[in-house]
Amino acid sequence: MPTTRDLRAMAGTEPITMLTAYDAPTAAVIDEAGVDVILVGDSMGNAALGHDSTLPVTLEEVRSRTAAVARATEEALVVADMPFLSFGVSESESVRNAGTMLKEADADAVKLECGSHTVELTERLVDLGIPVMAHLGLTPQRVKRTGYARQGTTRDDAREILDLARAHEEAGAFALVLEHVPANLAAQVTAALDVPTIGIGAGPDCDGQVLVITDVLGLSDRVPPFATRFGDVRSEMRRAVEAYRDAVAGGEFPAAEHGHVEEELDELY
């Protein structure tokens, strides 16, 4: 089982693969396929829970789904995403909430959507033994302020991301997610850091890539411009569900082999 230290060592040597998962069967498939990191992302808000943003996702939802993912995962590193306002309100509450993911859900690390307010918190969590994956660029928990627009597109904004990346590395983060930023900014951040960068909509020069599993499977009805559907699971699910409906409606399911008869129960009255 890789540790956060193993992942750090992969920077610049071999591409790191990361996917989200929100349940045990999906995590098992991802793990068997040899993906390095499974992120129990707060993207579950949109991808699994029917919300139109990540803001309503609760600590308990991430905790219970992280526990399910961890139970089904043997090899990959499991990272729990800290949902909106589960960190940053007060230090003690942030530490307790992050600790819960390791203590009760068996996560290997937590991810924080970062800004200047998370530098000290990262240091504190790392000191306590809670590995931190930082996340900069588009941070969907700030959707009310930024929308889903590409970030770091001006020189000032790009420099701020680079400075924050360095500050979080110094504070002890073991990896950095860069979301929806220009590829040339991501390349410079990657070159400036020793810890691995994992990009989503950040070009080819990051040390690894992450996507949301429902986009990869072709289960989402819409995918962001930087993602690709690698399958068409939605059509296959629809086909299976329609086949079931038709079999029940047509009297073909259940067949004799799907049930059993106790002869002595015949003619009860």
Which two tokens mark 225?
Answer: 């411009």
Examine residue 16 and tell whether it contacts ligand KIV (CB under 6 A): no
Neighbours of 226 (CB within 10 A): 16
Residues in 51-90 at the binding interface with ligand KIV, rule: CB under 6 A: 81
Q: Which lies closer to ligand KIV via its Cβ, residue 43 or residue 86?
A: 43
User: Cβ(55)–Cβ(143) under 8 Å?
Assistant: yes
Nearest residue to the partner ligand KIV, using Cβ? 41
Query: Which one of 212, 216, 217, 219 is in contact with ligand KIV (CB under 6 A)?
Result: 212
Active site residue 179: yes
Backbone angles phi, psi at 183, to 5 degrees: -60, -35
Residue 43 makes contact with ligand KIV by CB under 6 A: yes
- Name the one range near ligand KIV by CB under 6 A: 39-47, 98-106, 122-130, 183-191: 39-47
Give the number of other Cβ atoms within 10 Å of residue 204's Cβ: 10
| Contact flags string 165-194 toward ligand KIV, x per CB under 6 A | ------------x-x---------------
267, amino acid identity: E
Between vectors from CA 3 to CA 102 and to CA 164, what angle results, nearest 5°? 80
Q: Are 130 and 109 in contact (CB under 8 A)?
A: yes
Residue 154 token pair: 């001006």
- d(CA 96, CA 156) in angstroms, rounded, equals 35
For position 207 contacting ligand KIV by CB under 6 A, the verdict is: no
Lay out the site mask for ligand KIV across 87-126 (x = CB under 6 A, - = otherwise): ----------------------------------------
Which residue type, as a one-letter code, is found at position 92?
S
Enumerate the active-site residues: 179
Q: Which residues bind ligand KIV (CB under 6 A)?
A: 20, 39, 41-43, 81, 135, 177, 179, 200, 210, 212
